[in-house]
Amino acid sequence: MTPNSSYSIRAVGFVRSRLTSRAHAPKQGSEGAPEAWVDIDPAFAEALDGIATGQGLILVTWLHQGRRDVLQVHPRDDPEKRLKGVFAARSPDRPNPIGLHIVRVLEIAESVRLRVEPLEALDGTPVIDIKPILSGSVGG
C-alpha cells in the first residue's frame, strides 16, 4: 500500500441539464432521467472524433455535490434499509465521487456539444471522461 497517493483530474466538459437539485434527480438514468447537453471544452474537440449520433457512450462524471467523507449509506436513501458500504452502493457520496452514465447520443452540435439521454447528472456536473460502449466490456 502506498498511502496518500493522489492525482489531479480536470473537467473536460460540463453537463447542461434541467435537473438542478439532487433531491429531484432520478437515482439512475434508467429511472426517468431527461436528455441533457454535454458541452466539451473546445481544447478537447479532437478527442471526440469518431463519435456519431445514435451511438452509446459511457459518460464519466465528477459528482461534485457528493460527500467524500461518507463510507456507509442507507441504499437509495431509505432509512429502513441496513447501512451498506459505499463501494457496495451507487450513492454519489463516496471517497472519489465518480459517476458512470450510459447514454445515447441524440445530436452533435458545434463539434463539441453532445445532446444525450438519459442523464441523471445535475446541471453543472463536470464531465471527466467519455468512453464508447464495447461489447464484452463495461456497458457492453
CA 117/CA 102 separation, integer angstroms? 8
x/- binding map, residues 4-23, to a copy of itself, per CB under 8 A? xxxxxxxxxxx---------
For residue 118, state whether it binds a copy of itself (rule: CB under 8 A): no
Of residues 35 and 48, the one with the C-beta less far from a copy of itself:
48
CA 98/CA 65 separation, integer angstroms? 11
The set of cell numbers assigned to 77 is 436513501
Amino acid at 52: A
Amino acid at 42: P
How far apart are CB 35 and a copy of itself at their closest, in Å?
17
x/- binding map, residues 91-110, to a copy of itself, per CB under 8 A? ---xxx-x-xxx--------
Query: Coil, helix or strand for 76?
Result: helix
Interface with a copy of itself (CB under 8 A): 1-14, 28-30, 39, 41, 44, 46-51, 57-58, 60, 62, 64, 71-72, 83-90, 94-96, 98, 100-102, 126, 128-132, 134, 136-139
